Amino acid sequence: MAKGNHVFNDFDGCIASAFADVLAKMGGEGGAHLRALNGSGGPVAPARTFMDSKFTRSYPSLLVIRSNPRIAEIHWVQDDAVVAANDENSGAFGEAAAAFRSAVVDWAMGGDRDNPMAAWRQLVNAGVDHAAMERFVAGSSQSLAPRSAEGRRTLCLEIEKFIRGALTKDTAKWLIELRLDLQLQNYDYAKSESGWKATLGKGLGPGWFAPASGAG
């Protein structure tokens, strides 16, 4: 596969990294276990046993996110141009990713915190390279790419709608399940369960994001 500039950034990788950050904050070997399951080369069997026993809701939820066919499309849709070093889009996404990871850790571990989905919104807004998208639409050597420009643009719009819709909802669900898993490990939160669920869900309505590129 030709190596070009990705149209969409690594959203599922950012979620997995935020998960690993939470585990590292907890101490112990949790972070190493999750990294092993993400392909770091560590022993997989004990890592899977740990995650299956300690994070019975949030780890399966992460696997569901990563197994979605749209996630695979996010990773292969790229242009045929020379990869730009330190381009503006990658820099903006990197900053938004760091902010999201920090917000997840603060919210997961600290109780009465700001809504991490606000940071997710900024991540989504920074997560599309529109210049790379236009180059991909104009022409692509990717074997999986639609053969027409119209088909390639439609694919990009469908992926963008997935990110802003289903993936956003799945991310909110994962955050709720992460809190529930941590509660079972004796984390004492100041807010009631209904309170922090309401905080997380606030604003996740039809108008929360602007339409995907080119949408009405």
The reported pLDDT for the residue numbered 94 is 92
**pLDDT tens, position by position, 34-76:** 778 877 667 788 888 888 888 999 999 999 999 999 999 999 9
- Rounded CA gap, 19 and 68, in Å? 18
For the chain, give percent helix, strand, coil, nearest 5.
65, 0, 35
Among 205, 201, 176, residue whose Cα is nearest residue 189: 176
Mean pLDDT of 95-102: 95
| Cβ atoms of residues 52 and 13 within 8 Å | no
- Rounded CA gap, 115 and 137, in Å? 35
| Cβ atoms of residues 6 and 129 within 8 Å | yes
The reported pLDDT for the residue numbered 130 is 94
The reported pLDDT for the residue numbered 145 is 97
pLDDT band at 201 (very low <50, low <70, confident <90, very high): low
**pLDDT tens, position by position, 132-168:** 999 999 999 999 999 999 999 999 999 999 999 999 9
pLDDT band at 199 (very low <50, low <70, confident <90, very high): low
The reported pLDDT for the residue numbered 51 is 87
